[in-house]
């Protein structure tokens, strides 16, 4: 896959050199070359925020969503009226190029909204995954469901309830007795920063859209190569009943623990018992100068009993947010998002509490378009957490975004 992506990128860059001299300025639209058979688009963003001492905004142990320089380059190659090849490479903080997406799209009927995609495909679950790029996010931070790191890991498991409770609020760097012993970042409810690999089918009819996918990873742990014996099945259904209103619902289920970690906990051949099941609901309404969105994501992880005191119930989490944007004048807007992530309770030897520390976030900010495709954003966050080493964080951030 990486070789194919590299070849696709090299091809696109080589073809772009054939553009006329007048195109040397930064493009403001996707670049179309080779008689429209190749389209190149990109997204560049740089965020500068205060220190996140509580790791509230970290997407992994190294990168904070408020302190990241990201470059995306997307290429679409139209082979004919029915088959296209799409790829995207990404780099963060001047790190190595990563294969963010690479898939083949087949449209059997040119005039029908039906397509089949295979490879590292776009997310099926949820609404925010469709606007994860900085140019489409009204604020700088991300909703907790798609970014915040819980204490659960796919490659390491707690031996009992006490060990899991000992990691409350430490998803940025958790460690357990079973599986990989090296401390590492935990899992979000749904990853907003990696795409999964598999086959996806999408169909639309009138005001309704439906998508179904079978992939190697799960919502919290998308993969390129499978690390257990199971597959995830995900589906989404959305409808537009009236102008400006979009309603959606999603579901997904699949094994999330590596075969190695599962074998260390309960023996070989049982990794399919360590499942993540997720449900989601979302709504969006826009009219005149304002836009309102709301989304809820419920996730349940099942971990079979190992040692006493046992984890005797599924580990559940519920994340909900509501956000709004209001256009004050052309090019200028204000926005806000209220977000909460809660967890089910677990009983240890001497305490009963939530298995991870609940988090609440309020982010308020706005943006101004210097050019049609150059946006400057500022925002302030107030984070609170019921546990962990740092329970409160107020932080400011600024971001500049360019896309074509």
Express each pLDDT in 303-339 by its tens digit: 998 999 999 899 999 999 999 999 999 999 999 999 9
Q: What is the DSSP string of 264-304?
A: HHH-TT-GGGSEEEEEEEEEEEEETTEEEEEEEEEEEE---
Q: How confident is the model at residue 19 (pLDDT cuts 50, 70, 90)?
A: very low
Contact 235, 214 (CB under 8 A): no
DSSP 109: -
- Measure the CA–CA gap between 130 and 236, rounded to whole angstroms: 12
Q: Is the pLDDT of residue 14 over 50?
A: no
Distances (CA, A) of 275 to 24, 219, 314, 382: 51, 11, 10, 33
> Between these two residues, 110 and 180, which has the higher pLDDT value?
180
Residue 7 has pLDDT above 70, yes or no: no
Average pLDDT, the chain: 92
The pair of three-digit structure tokens given for residue 199, joined into one six-digit string: 């086959």
Contact criterion met (CB below 8 Å) for 312 and 305 = yes
Residue 32 has pLDDT above 50, yes or no: yes
* pLDDT of 268: 87
pLDDT at 251: 98
State the pLDDT at residue 373: 95
Residue 16 has pLDDT above 50, yes or no: no
Could you name the CATH architecture of 50-68+110-403?
A: Beta Barrel (2.40)
Antiparallel, parallel or unpaired: β 31-33 and 38-49: antiparallel
Backbone angles phi, psi at 27, to 5 degrees: -70, 150
More confidently predicted of 5 and 47: 47
Q: What is the pLDDT of residue 305?
A: 86
Please, which pLDDT band fits residue 20 given cuts at 50, 70 and 90?
very low
Query: Is the pLDDT assigned to residue 10 strictly greater than 60?
Result: no
Q: Which residue has the tokens 């070849």?
A: 7
Map out the domains of the chain as residue ranges: 50-68+110-403
* Amino acid 25: pLDDT: 65
How does pLDDT run across 91-133, given as a tens digit for each residue? Answer: 999 888 888 899 999 999 988 999 999 999 999 999 999 888 8
Tally: H helices and E strands in the chain: 4, 21
Question: Mind listing the pLDDT tens digit for each residue in 222-254?
Answer: 998 889 989 999 999 999 999 999 999 999 999
CA angle 280, 343, 58 (to 5 degrees): 80
CA 48 to chain centre: 21
């Amino acid at each position: 896959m990486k070789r194919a992506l590299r070849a696709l990128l090299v091809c696109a860059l080589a073809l772009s050199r054939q553009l006329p001299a007048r195109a040397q300025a930064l493009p403001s639209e996707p670049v179309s070359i080779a008689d429209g058979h190749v389209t190149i688009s990109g997204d560049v963003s740089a965020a500068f925020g205060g220190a996140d001492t509580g790791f509230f905004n970290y997407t992994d142990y190294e990168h904070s969503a408020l302190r990241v320089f990201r470059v995306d380059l997307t290429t679409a190659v139209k082979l004919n009226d029915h088959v296209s090849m799409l790829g995207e490479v990404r780099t963060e903080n001047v790190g190595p190029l990563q294969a963010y997406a690479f898939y083949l799209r087949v449209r059997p009927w040119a005039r029908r909204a039906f397509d089949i995609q295979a490879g590292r495909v776009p997310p099926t679950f949820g609404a925010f995954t469709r606007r994860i790029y900085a140019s489409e996010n009204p604020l700088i931070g991300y909703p907790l469901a798609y970014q915040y790191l819980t204490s659960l890991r796919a490659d390491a498991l707690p031996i009992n309830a006490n060990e899991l409770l000992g990691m409350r609020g430490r998803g940025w760097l958790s460690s357990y007795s079973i599986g990989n012993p090296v401390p590492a970042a935990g899992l979000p409810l749904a990853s907003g920063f990696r795409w999964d690999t598999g086959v996806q089918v999408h169909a639309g009819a009138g005001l309704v859209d439906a998508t179904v996918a079978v992939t190697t990873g799960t919502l919290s742990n998308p993969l390129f190569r499978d690390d257990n014996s199971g597959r995830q099945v995900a589906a989404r259904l959305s409808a537009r009943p009236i102008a400006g209103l979009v309603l959606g619902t999603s579901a997904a289920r699949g094994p999330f623990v590596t075969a190695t970690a599962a074998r260390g906990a309960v023996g070989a051949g049982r990794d399919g018992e360590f499942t993540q099941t997720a449900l989601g609901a979302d709504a969006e309404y826009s009219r005149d100068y304002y836009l309102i969105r709301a989304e809820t994501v419920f996730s349940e992880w099942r971990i079979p009993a190992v040692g006493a005191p046992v984890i005797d119930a599924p580990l559940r989490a519920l994340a909900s947010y509501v956000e709004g944007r209001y256009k004050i004048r052309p090019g200028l807007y204000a926005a806000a998002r209220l977000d909460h992530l809660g967890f089910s309770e677990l009983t240890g030897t001497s305490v009963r509490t939530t298995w991870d520390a609940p988090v609440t976030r309020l982010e308020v900010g706005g943006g101004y378009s210097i050019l049609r495709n150059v946006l400057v954003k500022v925002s302030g966050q107030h984070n609170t957490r019921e546990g962990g080493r740092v329970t409160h964080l107020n932080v400011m951030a600024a971001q500049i975004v360019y896309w074509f």
